[in-house]
Amino acid sequence: MKQSLIGSSYGKLKKVNTVCATIGGIVLLFITFSIFVDVFMRYVFGKPTIWITEVSTYLFLYVIYLATAYALQEGTHIKVTFFLDFFGKKSQRVIDLITQIMAIAFTVVLLWQTSAMTWVAIKGKWTTPTMLNVPFAIIHGVMVLGSFLLLLSFICTTILYFTGEEKERAGAA
């Protein structure tokens, strides 16, 4: 069966999501290792680092936002499905459609707000009020990227599910 334009585009998006999630995993390893080093420095030498806590906090946003679209495509988002068991297949599809539309609407608002916040940070040349003085645009930018990938993934999974190209409810929120 020939794949639709949405199906082939979603295949490419899945690869991008996988790369982003892999980067998020590497960042998580770095955070874990750096916190271990900080704890070691603090309790063994009595000299904690001054940057690890701040950097780890900012990098945690990268872990979350780089992996969210991947979690959606793999169907590992948190879902409450016991409620669906009370309904027939046709009703389940209607509930899935309503859920998908609500998730898309939420993601649109998330993308809009993170974009606005990032734009204000870029225009104002905002930086963190700490010693590292990190530009907020770098911190907020990943939220825009992650929200955008999540929105595209929601749209693709919804279209593919309701056109019958994707048989399972992988994208149902």
Q: Where are the domains of the chain?
A: 5-163
Exposure b/e, 29-58, CB count within 10 A at least 16 = b: eebeebeeebeeeeeeeeeeeeebeeebeb
Alpha helices in 41-135 (DSSP H): 52-74, 89-123
The rounded mean pLDDT for the chain is 89
For residue 172, the model assigns a pLDDT of 46
Which residue reads 């979690």 in tokens? 71
**pTM of the shown model:** 0.85
Helix axes 136-163, 89-123, angle to 10 degrees: 160
Express each pLDDT in 109-141 by its tens digit: 999 999 999 999 999 999 988 888 899 999 999
Top pLDDT among 143 and 53 is at 143
